[in-house]
Structure 1
Amino acid sequence: MSVPLDLIPAPHGAASLTLVDQLVQWARRRIDERVFRPGMRMPSIRKLAQDKGVSRFTVVEAYERLVAQGYIESRRGSGFYVRERSAIGAPDARRRQETRAEPARSAIDVAWLVRNTLQTSSPEKGPGLGYLPARWLDGELVASALRTLGRQSATQWLGMGTAQGFLPLRQQLQTRLAELEIGATPEQIVLVSGITQAIDLIARLYVQAGDTVIVGDPAWFQMFGRFASQGARLIGMPYTAAGPDVDALEALVATWRPKMLLINSVLHNPTGTSVSPAQAFRILRLAEEYDFVIVEDDAYGDLVPPGYPATRLASLDQLKRVIYLGSFSKTLTGNLRVGFAACSHEMARVLADQKLLVGMTTPELNERLLYKVLTEGHYRRHVERLRARLDGVRDKAARMLETAGMKLFTMPAAGMFLWADTGVDADTLAAAGQEAGFVLAPGSLFSPHQSPTSWMRFNVANCGDPALPGFLAGYLDGRRGAKPLKTAVAVPS
């Protein structure tokens, strides 16, 4: 059965579009939305004709028009490829060439996954999404705190708040940090609108054009664009199944003399690994020797179960060189947008001043709401339930991926992510997933160079759609020329 074209309707009163016109508009929209990404090979003429139920002549004519319009380019003997975005509308422009041996120097566009994250209504259709499904979260926990605030005096909402944020919440965070053996006074804590804003403030303050910033390769994609737009030279630190490759980091530090290292130390996104004590000591020693700042992202820290071997760099450094970032978006709701940065007294003062210059104070209503949630005694039990639910689907999701023919990077004992080698081009798989209604996260997004790769991130909480195992197994078998699998393991939702 052919796949129907996903068309842009013709204007009212206009004549019907020809099949060639429809195919051109379909491809252009996919390229504009970055489903088909720069450098990606377009479907072969034969396969696209078969999938769309049109003749090969129709596909050839559509591809020729797309070449003329600057959307794709023809490579003799290889096929058609999506042109670099900078080349669209300028067919003679030279394509920018990057290799892993060279740092990324220009702004990195990762907006397509963020856009699809916000537009996807069904988490089960989003195994590439980075958050937990709403039905796993406790809306009543937030609603109860809202009702409590509503019964208080309305005059408290009329002020501007403070630069560092709501003091009682910072005092509560001091207690929580002490449980992690991180000593921080309320004056060392700055409240922000999520870790994303914290990264933005830090980039504005500490990174100038030409500075080197070391990031994970792979790592959380959203920070890449922010530092690249600042003019930073991004260098990728590789990962092993045991966490960051500290031997490789030492060589990178000696070569590039970085201004900063950004690291997701616990339940790393996307590999699920965590930093060991030995690795943490070596990283801090390198920071001291080569004089760079460490930004430690602990967005997934609350998903760590008791007894799990997790080491925070900030607990060893005590906020001398480490800026420690935390958030509650993953466990409560992404809409709350309350995070924090804990650092030295001087850094906290400068961060608070920068926060005022960029956007004044953060909404105290949100901060008061989070304070109520944390102090009314139900948050810990809520987090325990989240950990248990993740434990209940992690192994099943892993088996489903392995049954489809993928190889796991490692098998984490906690957290929400699995990093899997699909054995095929992950960008192409993500494009096919988009056609089938799934939002997938190809590994190229998690590299500062966006290099083509076969790796892909899966959120174990969002692998419950019954059609997902069949889609993955069928696609991968088709690409490898193998017989379709007779069975696949579905992950209950």
Structure 2
Amino acid sequence: MSSVPLDQIPAPHDAATTTLVDQLVQWGRRRIEERVFRPGMRMPSIRKLALDKGVSRFTVVEAYERLVAQGYLDSRRGSGFYVRERLAAVAPLERGPGADANGNAAAEPAPPPTLDVVWLLRNMLHSSTHPETGPGLGYLPARWLDGELLAGAMRSLGRQSGSQLLGFGSPQGFLPLRQQLQTRLAEFEIGATPEQFVMVSGVTQAIDLLARLYVRPGDTVVVGDPAWFQMFSRFVSQGARLLGVPYTPEGPDLDALETLVATWRPKLLVINSVLQNPTGTSLTAAQAFRILRLAEQYDFLVVEDDIYGDLCPAGYPATRLASLDQLRRVIYLGSFSKTLAPNLRVGFIASALDVAQAVADQKMLVGMTSPELNERVLFRVLTEGHYRRHVERLRARLDSVRDKAARMLERAGCRIFVAPGAGMFLWADTGVDADALTAAGHEAGFLLTPGSLFSPHQSPTTWMRFNIANCGDPALPAFLAGYLDGVARRA
């Protein structure tokens, strides 16, 4: 069993209202709940932790004993303290994994958990106020965004009659916003009427609605490997079989995709056509045509997630599937959370008319309407003339740090998958176990994103996604280089 490296553990902050023992207990509980210290892992020895924290051994013993009493640790005579397996309760009469026919938990404990999507999302929220220490974050730092753009839209909205804000809203969303989106998609040569749009609370809800509508137990869904991780559990919860198409520096391996769809006849293919998360690749026209031919031949729908499209400048070599297909087999998704604010949860689905109606009906069954107030704010932002310039500033700022971030990663010992000319992510091979590097980074104060989370099967990997906007902490290069060099020396 592995022990936790002490040189990466931050000392507890001084607090007037808590004792040193309390602070150590809070530190231990937080690390266990965040799954940095996993079940079966040996905690730092009393002597080493006392030395590292600058406290007495008595303080460490007292803190460990409290964690034992609270069910977080086990004490093993002559060996030390170990993280206890904390089994989740099983509901009465509900048979879960590892339970017997009466719903009782099996005596054999579940395997130790690893870093997972919930762990990452929880820590993303905790790290939102310190983006410089979050190279694994999936959004831009607040200082890059324009809060006044949103505030101005809300002030403008507040000058309207309040009675306009009291209605229930339309299941398809605020009509003027859908009309505005019709104009925006026309710029991408995608033809759609307002009736072909359904507003949603971000792309996450869009995926959820489409999974509920199209996926039944046993159906196959093809995704990228790697790809955006939050959609995986949504499809699996519907009973889908997830298959991953591998990526090359030129984009998805279309020979592998053809083999998958010919063998498994999927219901859906979900893909980023522009600035794919996490690789940063974009589809060429030839690739897009081939994907659409496969969709026609093997009768599946394509869900095109274009959430990063606004970060792609005009003239960039990228082709949107919906511009070729005109929403016959392609269901097109968009959102504004990456360019305006992560908590402005306004996205949309554009599709064939019958699909849009079915999605709107499903949306009513799940949650009635989406918040029209948010949609009205977005409408103001898009129509008051400042959004386009704001996005241009974001692109320029990303351009100014992209090469710098890539060179930093390469000097630390990483290999870049591809050097995209736009977007916010770099996909890098660290050469070491990415989960272990993520755990060490967490202890050093950095939120990293291991590549295993981007695999539909969460396969172990040495790859990792880096957000170039959040790689500016001067301590990050030293941490990465030190960790990678230390692993190489021990090998």
Counterpart in the other structure of 2:440: 432
Matching residue of 2:472: 464
Letter in 1 for 2:161: S
1:326-360 C-alpha deviation (Å, 9 max, x unpaired): 00000001111110000000000011111111111
In the alignment, which residue of structure 2 is the partner of 1:157? 165
1:242 aligns with 2:258: no
- Distance in structure 2 (CA, Å) of the matches to 1:312 and 1:4: 46
Unpaired segments of 5 or more residues in structure 2? 1-5, 58-63, 65-74, 88-96, 100-104
Residue 140 of structure 1 aligns to a residue in which SS?
A: helix
What is the match of residue 139 of structure 1?
Answer: 147
**Alignment partner of 1:114 is 2:121:** yes
Query: TM-score with structure 2 length normalisation?
Result: 0.83
**1:170 maps to what in 2?**
178
2:108 pairs with 1:92: yes
2:259 alignment partner in structure 1? 251
Distance apart, 1:51 and its partner CA: 7.7
Tell me the TM-score normalised to structure 1 length. Answer: 0.83
**Residue type of the partner of 1:32?**
E
Shift in CA distance, 372/61, structure 1 to aligned 2, threshold 3 Å: farther
Cross-structure match for 2:208: 200
- Aligned with residue 349 of structure 2, among 341, 350, 365: 341
Partner of 1:33: 34
Cα gap change, 1:210/1:298 in structure 2, threshold over 3 Å: closer, same or farther? same
Q: 1:292 Cα deviation (Å)? A: 0.9
**Structure 1 residue ranges without an equivalent (≥5):** 73-84, 98-107, 483-493
Percent of pairs identical after alignment? 69
Structure 2 counterpart SS, 1:481: helix
In structure 1, how many angstroms separate the alpha carbons of the residues matched to 2:270 and 2:234? 12
Distance in 1, matches of 2:456 and 2:38, equals 15
Q: Which of 467, 478, 481 lines up with 1:473 in the alignment?
A: 481
- The residue that corresponds to 1:387 in the other structure is 395
| 1:56-455 alignment runs, 5 A limit | 66=82, 69-70=84-85, 92-93=108-109, 95=111, 109-120=116-127, 121-455=129-463
> 1:233 offset after TM fit, Å?
0.9
- Deviation for aligned residue 1:30: 3.5
Measured in 2, the distance between the counterparts of 1:424 and 1:390 equals 27
Counterpart of 1:122, as a letter, is H
Q: Distance in 1 between matches of 2:299 and 2:79?
A: 52
Residue deviations 1:85-106 (CA, integer Å, cap 9, x gap): 979x866257599xxxxxxxxx
Residue aligning to 1:100: none
* SS of match in other structure, 1:309: coil
Change (3 A) 1:311 1:37: farther
- The letter for the 2-side match of 1:117 is M
CA drift of 1:64 comes to: 7.0
User: In the alignment, is the contact (CA less than 8 A) between 1:109 and 1:225 conserved in 2?
Assistant: no
CA contact (8 A) 2:42 2:80 kept: no
Q: For residues 63 and 336 of structure 1, do their structure 2 counterparts lie closer, same or farther at Cα, with a shift above 3 Å needed?
A: farther
Query: CA shift at 1:66, angstroms?
Result: 3.6
Opposite residue 126 of structure 2, the aligned amino acid is Q
Q: CA separation in 1, counterparts of 2:195 and 2:342? A: 26
* Residues in 2 aligned to 1:314 and 1:213: alpha-carbon distance in whole angstroms: 19
For 2:29 and 2:146, the matched residues in 1 are separated by: 41
TM-aligned CA deviation for residue 197 of structure 1? 0.7
Contact 1:275 1:311 in 2 (8 A): yes
Runs of 4+ aligned structure 1 residues displaced above 4 Å come to 1-9, 12-17, 25-29, 41-46, 48-55, 58-65, 93-97
Aligned positions, number: 449
Q: Give how far 1:70 is off.
A: 3.7
Cα distance, 1:2–1:344 mapped onto 2, change above 3 Å: closer
Q: Matches of 2:382 and 2:20 in 1, distance apart? A: 60
d(CA) in 2 for partners of 1:147 and 1:16? 49
Q: Could you tell me how far 1:16 is from its partner in structure 2?
A: 6.2
1:281 to 1:411, Cα distance in 2 relative to 1, 3 A: same
Amino acid at match of 1:201: L
